[in-house]
Amino acid sequence: MFGLPQAVKSARKEWFLVEGYFDVIALAKVGMDNVVAPLGTALTDYQARAIGRHADTVNLLMDNDRAGRDASLRARTILENKGIATRFILLKGAKDPDEYFSSFGCERLTAALSETLDATEYQLALLKLDVDSVLGMPSADYRNGALDLLAAEPDIVKRELYSGRLAKELQINRRAIREEVERRHNVMKAGPRGAVSQQRDLRRGNVRRDNRRKLRKYNEDEIFILMMLADNTQLIHIKPSVPKAKLGGYALSDDTGAFLSSEQATAPLSASDFGNGFLREVAALSIIEAAKGSLTLAALHANIDNIWETYENKLSDDERDDSAPDVPELVHSMVQQQFNAYDASELSKQSLGRVYLQRLIHLRLSQWERQATIINRKAGELEMAGSDKEAAEHYANAVTLTTAAQVFRMITQGEQQT
């Protein structure tokens, strides 16, 4: 975690919690020096106590992806358990503060930092963002998700306020929204017995929502890029590139420079770009078929069924019980919904390649950052065990991956703007 800036150690004020050091630098460029970052790892109780000695309120500004969103909500719980008030900031149109600064400039970032949200507003905004950006999300899922979030809000005044906003947005009678929110709120307060008493009316919708929550581990970007590949197997030959001339503009270590020029960074799509688990196995088979020119949407659907049949057998009893019983059906549905929206967009051949490349880069960089988090965790374990030399090597590898992801992302953003 970044050390606390000397200039503000004596003042109790608002602080910002971001994810990485490039984000700290971005906020410093707009005059914010009261910023800390856990550097890709989860916020700890010790770090929360350290922040609490200097901050009255912490504005949470983690990356705008699934992992960053979850990290923000976990950080809120940890900080508020230490008596530290929290607010959230959502940067629309960018993954993190560094990307936002590069894309929109100093004034826009400064203005965005003043637009803070409470936890319910933040989660509603994320849900709305998903509706706008995730192809094929049913409107009923958005409505039900928003109603559940409002029902979980403990402050009745906020429930009333946000119910009015939702009613206006959905063009539904305000009273109907308010009554449904209060009904769900009372069910939540009643606990399992109250939920069971309401289950007959809600059973179908609840099962569908529960399964969607369990399906979140199946990354929508991963499904989207497989769908694109099934529609046009020629995309398999597209690969990222990192021009050496552009690398010269960054002060990189030899290891990071070599990594960015390696086959690992510039190869076409591979199964290693996917998270561990079911979709990685689907991807491995589908990529082989795409290289042969035999992958189609029908073949992709067949791969999903065939892989799931063998994958499920490898799960432990607990994992099998926790997995959605109709995972293949849900993945099939996501593939088809995404394809319908994608097909209707009628992208040109040039645009098609550009969209595919953007998705590939996003997947690859996200995977590097996940690997860095795992390596950092292992380094900490080695350090605790007294293996300082081995721990230092792990930390260095994690820094290489994290820095490579940040630099690659900035180069890509620069190319998109030119």
- The pair of structure tokens assigned to 304 is 């999903």
In a domain, 19, yes or no: yes
Residue 388 lies in a domain: yes
| In a domain? residue 123 | no
| Residue 398 pLDDT greater than 60, yes or no | yes
382 with 245, same domain: the answer is yes
Joined tokens for residue 265: 């960074």
Helix ranges (DSSP H) in 153-277: 156-170, 174-190, 192-215, 220-231, 244-247, 254-260, 263-266
**Residue written as token pair 């709120």:** 185
pLDDT at 25 over 50: yes
Run of H or E including 86: strand 85-88
Greater confidence, 313 or 212? 313
Domain co-membership, 267 together with 380: yes
Q: Which of 161, 193, 215 is the last residue of a domain?
A: 215
Asked whether residue 256 is assigned to any structural domain, the reply reads: yes
Q: Choose the weakest-confidence range: 74-83, 104-113, 170-179, 391-400.
A: 170-179
* Number of structural domains found in the chain: 3
298 and 364, same domain (yes or no): yes
Listed residue (85, 59, 84, 62) closest to 72, CA to CA = 62
Q: What does residue 250 show for φ and ψ, rounded to 5 degrees?
A: -120, 145
Q: Are residues 380 and 311 in the same domain?
A: yes
- Looking at residue 235, its pLDDT comes to 94
Percent of the chain with pLDDT over 70: 82
CATH classification of the domain holding 24: 3.40.1360.10
**The two structure tokens encoding residue 224:** 């989207």
Tell me the mean pLDDT in the region 245-257: 79
Q: Give residue 291's pLDDT band: very low, low, confident or very high (50, 70, 90).
A: very high
Where does the pLDDT of residue 413 fall: very low under 50, low under 70, confident under 90, or very high at 90 and above?
Answer: low
**Is residue 372, in this structure, part of any structural domain at all?**
yes
Residue 127 lies in a domain: no
Closest CA to 335 of 238, 236, 235, 221: 221
Which token pair is 335?
């593939």
Co-location of 243 and 390 in the same domain: yes
pLDDT band at 3; cut points 50, 70, 90: very low
Note the pLDDT tens digit of each residue in 166-213: 988 888 888 888 888 988 888 887 765 444 444 444 444 444 444 444
Which one has a higher pLDDT value, 202 or 141?
141
pLDDT at 244: 76
Please check whether residues 206 and 224 belong to one and the same domain.
Answer: no
Q: What is the mean pLDDT of the chain?
A: 81
282, 413: one domain: yes
Let me know whether 403 and 270 are in one domain. yes
Q: For residue 379, what pLDDT band results from cuts at 50, 70 and 90?
A: confident
Residue 301, in any domain of the structure: yes
State whether 333 and 413 are in the same domain: yes
Adjacent-strand bridge partners of 13: 55
Residue ending a domain, among 215, 230, 249, is: 215
Residues 104 and 153 in one domain: no
Question: By the 8 A CB rule, do 100 and 91 touch?
Answer: yes
402 contacts 370 by C-beta, under 8 angstroms: no
Kindly state whether residues 407 and 355 are assigned to the same domain: yes
Q: Please indicate, yes or no, whether residues 58 and 164 belong to a single structural domain of this protein.
A: no
Whether 1 is in a domain gets the answer no
Query: What are residue 87's DSSP bridge partners?
Result: 59
Mean pLDDT on 268-297: 91
Query: Which one is predicted more confidently, 285 or 215?
Result: 285
Two structure tokens written together for 103: 């894309």
**148, 181, 215: which is the final residue of a domain?**
215
Rounded to the nearest 10 degrees, what angle do helices 388-417 and 97-113 cross at? 70
Q: Are 87 and 77 in contact (CB under 8 A)?
A: no
**Domain carrying residue 196:** 133-215
